[in-house]
Amino acid sequence: MTVATLDPRAAAQDNAGLGARRAASVPSGIVSATPAYAARARNAEVWDVEGNRFIDFVAGIAVCSTGHCHPKVIGAVQDQLERFTHTSFQVLPYAPYVALAERLNALAPVAGPAKTIFFNSGAEAVENAVKIARFATGRTGVVAFAGAFHGRTLMTTALTGKAMPYKRGFGTLPGEVWRVPFPIAHYGVSVQDSLNALDALFRTDADPSSIAAIIVEPVQGEGGFHVTPPELLQTLRAICSEHGILLICDEVQTGFARTGKLFAVEHSGIAPDIVTMAKALGGGFPIAAVTGRAELMDSVHGGGLGSTFGGAPISCAAALAVLDVIEEEELIDRANAIGATLRARFEAWAGREDLMPIAHVRGLGAMMAFDLVKARGSDEPDPDAARKLVARAFELGLVVISCGIHGETLRLLMPLTISDEVLLEGLDRLEQALAER
């Protein structure tokens, strides 16, 4: 048997050449927001294989909140590389896993003693949070919200509240997932509407005694950066406590200082039973976590939970360094400062006649967004304008992405370590893109 090999040094290495190679070798089901191929990155700047410089307002979708290649994170990884790279915690356990669990148990906003288990991705974390909730309660139903995004595995696709592109064509998804509307004022849905729908669900289709968990993002990510109103989270906490339902907060995108708190749910003052996290935890290295009340986490029998690569030594070392950087560099305060700059700029843009019409400036901390709309003062979404804005910003050397139920939302997730100089340069480029209709 002949094994095909390709020397990457001999193959096309510019963006167009890599694009052609990609088209021949990578499925079209995975889509990239830009045609540039990254070659190196530092903090909030990325250079592609052709030497073009980009300001990064995405950070790998909220992953590199401590910046690309933060020296402390890289140093911790290099130190761990010299020791060992893998044993599987399920075979030969190791100290970084335990140390990281201890840190998260102390930091996560759950009530009372907590325990943590590690996985590889946000979807895995959510999937396992549901497994734990079902085992601990002896129930199977799960309530999720319209517009939510929880992942692309079959269970998390069922929980996700957006049909295209996540559900179309994938057949029957896991059952006993119930959905209620998410409150968005300009879509005509109030907190009371959401609560009325939940009450109707409990009365007509799913008795509360059959529900294991309600899962909610404190700020919807892919759904459009809509902040979950504190009064909704507070009422959900009360409903869950009344009926023995577990409240799961999906902090995969919101966690680790992004919203101006270590965890976004802290803005509401409530304590969930289980928190899922990933993305920024690893500072660019793959790791996810489920932290929950100790008695819930201990309810599952030995061997019922696990992952060959979950909590890999290198990723645990990186995550411990990320937590140090957040504390030492005061990134929670930095997120709030960045957010204030973004909000002021966006609100000024919303009132200008010479820019593309935008509306509904929103967010917490440095997790900010606005919508592209058909006309100034309108609520009608304009996803085509959002696509054009993303493309034009890229041409100007700025990486941004869109989201939202209609694809009308521009979301910003720059590293929290970004300098003021680079932040303002990126905002100037975004303003230029908005000015070129």
In degrees to the nearest 10, what's the CA dihedral of 250, 300, 143, 159?
A: 60
pLDDT at position 64 is 98
Number of H helices, E strands in the chain: 13, 15
**Average pLDDT per block of 10 residues along the chain, 437 residues long:** 54 90 95 96 98 98 98 98 98 98 98 97 98 98 96 92 86 90 95 98 97 98 96 98 98 98 98 98 98 98 96 98 98 98 98 96 98 94 97 98 96 98 98 90
pLDDT at position 163 is 86
Q: In whole angstroms, what separates CA 292 from the centre of its chain?
A: 19
E-only strand ranges, 74-210: 114-119, 141-145, 177-180
pLDDT at position 437 is 64
Terminal-residue alpha carbon distance, the chain: 56
Residue type, 84: F
Structure tokens at 276: 């899922």
Instruction: Please give the domain boundaries of the chain with CATH numbers for all domains.
Output: 72-328 (3.40.640.10)
Walk across the sheet containing 367-372 and list its strands. Answer: 358-364, 367-372, 409-412, 401-403
